[in-house]
Amino acid sequence: MTEYLWVSNEMKTVHSLCRVDSSIQGAASVTREIADEVEKAWLARLPGAGVVRRDLTQSPVSPAMWTDALMGRRAETPTPAQQAAVALATELGDEVLAADALLVCAPLYNWGVSGHVKCWIDMLWTDPRFAPRTYPLAGRPIVLVVARGGGASPGAPQEGWDHSVPYLVRMFGDEIFGGDVTVIETELTLADRSPAMAHLRDRAADLRARNHELAAATGAALGERFATD
């Protein structure tokens, strides 16, 4: 859904980016750092555009809320907790559907998608607007910012151990939500802190720097895509 503003008798479109954070590492977070770059470039290209933020660590969605939302949709007389959970799921769905683009930060924890992100996605699924084969985000740009401490890329000892990225790409991409997904993937983020990874520090710094550039370019391209409206 797009908002409009009247400016000097001219109708201007106000575009919005929905940014979802989930890192538990506060100011040390790499996904936040990279996403900041995307957001900054988007705003530089689209001054006045909106950014709607949801920090899943500040207002987490729990498995219990998900259960309540799921059961509340089916219940003839939903309990107060189920009503609240259904309302929250609707709010989360509204937020996503109202945005022109999504910026989703997904750190790798314990080789899988973080519980914060999983519960948020599960909540969206309870909303009939996100039902299977409805492709609610068809064609919508979605930037996934992912980071992991070790290496899981081809050739790394733990190649293929990142079970988060394939899930997220499938969920947001063509097959399920239908979005147009760009992944900005940083790894070896623990190299500076881990003595065992000291030999990987240069590679980690290089990758981080390249991903800053990619984030800036991605944000600018995203802004460009909407700048003509």
Secondary structure (3-state) at 139: coil
Q: Which residue has the tokens 């314990």?
A: 110
Closest residue by Cα to residue 182 from 155, 158, 218: 218
Tokens of 4: 């409009």
Binding mask 81-120 for ligand FMN (x = CB under 6 A): --------------------------xxxxx---------
Least distance (Å) between residue 22 CB and ligand FMN: 8
CA dihedral in degrees (87, 113, 60, 218; nearest 10)? -80
Q: How far apart are CA 53 and CA 68, in angstroms?
A: 24
Least distance (Å) between residue 88 CB and ligand FMN: 24
Nearer to ligand FMN, 42 or 109 (CB): 109
Least distance (Å) between residue 150 CB and ligand FMN: 3
- Residues numbered 17 to 46 that lie near ligand FMN (CB under 6 A) are 23, 25, 29-32
Write the DSSP symbol of residue 220: H
Residue 66 in the binding site for ligand FMN (CB under 6 A): no
Interface with ligand FMN (CB under 6 A) = 23, 25, 29-32, 107-111, 147-150, 189-190
